[in-house]
Structure 1
């Protein structure tokens, strides 16, 4: 899909940031979440504390927290860095696993990214993610980044491993 109808999702300004939702938490997970250089705004809810929707898809608005005036190559590097934040989350969401699960572990096994047109990471990008398959502690996620005009600017694929403690 090379274009996206932005009228189908709320504007990022209409959604709470992770800072607004979790800024008062005082533990290691909150620090990890809140000290990222990117602002994240989940369209359908996040999986930080609990999972209310076991869908295999999610949408998140993302942009750098600070102005990022850099070359296209550096913009691409920054987006590649940020793309890895969320790629495991559709797999976790599908299986009802929040980040707050004690002993939960995840790792990227393979990660590929393609850049289709220029963009800026300090402007809102809609990150649409889905997992077509997940089983045996592994899952595949596809992601697409759209600018606010609905143009596809980058896409990504990753295989991840997830582990939860046995009961």
Structure 2
């Protein structure tokens, strides 16, 4: 999905250029699924959506559906998902939860998202009761803090018309640490890493599952940019066709999605019309909070 489509998918308010708490509250409402039967939930898309449902949205909603069938004291520690078909933003999405296993330490759920009688997305998620064990973590890269960095609209001002970012409200505040990929594309640089600070643009309720789902939503933003940047191309500035194929997340430690986290991503390989991207999320205090891997369809035509 193009970055323009990502921004549009994040547009949860009809006032051009707005953001902040109002837009974030609408994301929270988007993740508040309707229960229509035991193990069956229904979600909708924002009124102003692109042609396809934003991948982070369906992943976040599917995780909400899974989490609502699990005891609150068990926390999600991983998810593995496949994007099967492009979602239709004009009709609701039905999420069917299969209660695979309820063990003494772990709970496993499988979720299938359905539209027009066909699966568009599948997710497996594992939840665990809190335990004490071995502890270690990689350290956060040495980067400037978010307060010193311009916002996405400020950074993209010169490219606003070409990127379609000037009028897209976003519930996630994004601030680039290094030069954005649309700048490196023109300078001829081939950066090995893509680094952005992110946070929910407002205050979220004190519900841990919601914070995890908001990070899941945000994790589909900017990740495949790290693949394209290695080749000096970018979504709407070049003829790139792209879509998320699969997505995996591991949650290592508690966090709040309305506090700053660094999204450090790179691409180890691309081949066969697909690109692989890996990412790490660090809290502002340097804590490693999550790891992500995604493969995407990427065709330059």
Which interval holds the TM-score relative to the shorter structure? Answer: 0.7 to 0.9
Question: Aligned pair 1:16/2:150, yes or no?
Answer: yes
Q: What TM-score comes out, normalization by structure 2 length?
A: 0.50
Partner of 1:150: 286
Question: Aligned pair 1:30/2:165, yes or no?
Answer: yes
Q: Do the aligned partners of residues 62 and 54 (structure 1) sit closer, same or farther apart at CA in structure 2, a change above 3 Å counting?
A: same
Which whole-Å deviations, capped at 9, do the CAs of 1:57-88 have from their partners, x for residues lacking one? 12111111111124111100110010001111
How far apart are the structure 2 equivalents of 1:27 and 1:128? Answer: 25
Partner of 2:35: none
How far apart are the structure 1 equivalents of 2:195 and 2:137? Answer: 16
Report which stretch shifted further, 147-156 or 96-105: 96-105
Which whole-Å deviations, capped at 9, do the CAs of 1:14-40 have from their partners, x for residues lacking one? 1111121235724663258x4221111
Runs of 4+ in 1 over 3 A off after TM superposition: none
Q: Do the aligned partners of residues 160 and 36 (structure 1) sit closer, same or farther apart at CA in structure 2, a change above 3 Å counting?
A: same
**Larger Rg, first or second structure (1 or 2):** 2
Partner of 1:92: 228
Question: 1:141·1:158 contact (CA, 8 Å) conserved in 2?
Answer: yes
3-state SS in 1 of match to 2:257: coil
Question: 2:162·2:237 contact (CA, 8 Å) conserved in 1?
Answer: no
Question: 2:162·2:236 contact (CA, 8 Å) conserved in 1?
Answer: no
Q: Which runs of 5+ in 1 are unaligned?
A: none
Partner of 1:47: 181
Q: 2:198 aligns with which of 62, 71, 76?
A: 62
Give the CA RMSD over aligned residues: 2.1
Partner of 1:2: 137
Question: 1:56·1:90 contact (CA, 8 Å) conserved in 2?
Answer: yes
3-state SS in 2 of match to 1:48: helix
How far apart are the structure 1 equivalents of 2:204 and 2:231? Answer: 36
Question: 1:49·1:98 contact (CA, 8 Å) conserved in 2?
Answer: no
Question: 2:192·2:230 contact (CA, 8 Å) conserved in 1?
Answer: yes
Q: What TM-score comes out, normalization by structure 1 length?
A: 0.87
Partner of 1:83: 219
Partner of 1:132: 268
Q: Which runs of 5+ in 2 are unaligned?
A: 1-135
